[in-house]
Amino acid sequence: MKKFIILIPVYNDWESLKKLFLEIDENLKKIKNIKVDCIVINDASTLDKPEIKKPNSINTLKILNMKHNRGHARCNAFGIRYVSSHEEFDHLILMDGDGEDRPVELKSLISKSIDNQKNSVVAKRIKRSEGPFFQFLYLMHKMITYFFTGKNINFGNYSCLTKKDVNILSSKSSLWSSYSGTLKKNIKNLKEIESIRGTRYFGPSQMSLIKLIIHSFSIIAVYKKQVLLRSIIILFILILLGSYLNINLIGLQISIVTFCSIIFLVSLREKKKDLLNSHKNLLNVNQITH
């Protein structure tokens, strides 16, 4: 019997977590011959934690309470390291706690993982729930990412990792800044399921324009060496093109240099020391038994 752990970061969104548990419970009942534990990372929430009940389909439920808020990406990074060093498991599922990662897709994710024991599985986004403007910005993010890195990163956190891949990712400094970029760079032969981005259970989306830009740049920064190489090639082509056509392309050249500089500044978020010491931010662990 394969053991799965579901890892869920939460910051104040306790009502969403309670509804998520109801839907997880309903969907896990349809899956046979697996054992599922759940770990919730409380990212130093400022709202009091309500009474949380363990779903019947979950074997054990732990809540890891953090001392200081570090943000969603770093919660996942800490969680991956914690599971790698403290838990026995076959697969780790990363899942957002607000409903945007739909529990109805758990069956597909788990089935794909069981059919491909040696491969991690990502939930490829085929449809999003946000408005046209956000979807346009997200499309631009994907195009720019592909142009500068050569990688089509069409998934977020929702994924199912093998134990081997969890151990590989747990020591990568870029994990502290970007999960999806780090996964794509370091893990080969990823399998996919099709996924529809759900809507939040409560309140508006937490992904603001600024957060989207930081998210996009953090992914690209994982490939900073490729960005530098491609930027040099582009600048060389622009210089030759400008000289051959006798036109001024200095604005484009400055834009490329500026973009490359921003990416290298963002890459400073990848702090391996902070990743390796992330366990020091753990306050305590609550075991929910019923």
Checking DSSP bridges between strand 61-66 and strand 282-288, what pairing results, if any? antiparallel
Say what the pLDDT of residue 133 is: 74
Alpha helix stretches (DSSP H) within the chain = 14-28, 72-86, 106-115, 132-149, 163-169, 179-186, 209-221, 224-245, 250-266, 272-276
pLDDT of 42 > 80? The answer is yes
pLDDT of 106 > 70? The answer is yes
All structural domains of the chain with their residue ranges: 2-134+153-206+272-288, 224-266
Say what the pLDDT of residue 208 is: 67
- Over the stretch 111-120, which tens digit does the pLDDT of each residue have? 999 999 999 9
Say what the pLDDT of residue 195 is: 94
Mean pLDDT of 253-276: 94
Q: What is the DSSP letter of 151?
A: -
- Say how many residues make up the chain: 290
Domain 2-134+153-206+272-288, what architecture? Alpha-Beta Complex (3.90)
Mean pLDDT of 139-145: 88
- Cβ count within 10 A of residue 265: 11
Mean pLDDT of 215-236: 95
Listing DSSP states for 13-65 in one string gives -HHHHHHHHHHHHHHHTT--SEEEEEEEEE---SSPP---PPPTT-S-EEEEE
Determine phi and psi for 93, rounding to 5 degrees.
-105, 125
Give me the residues paired with residue 127 across strands. Answer: 196
Say what the pLDDT of residue 39 is: 98
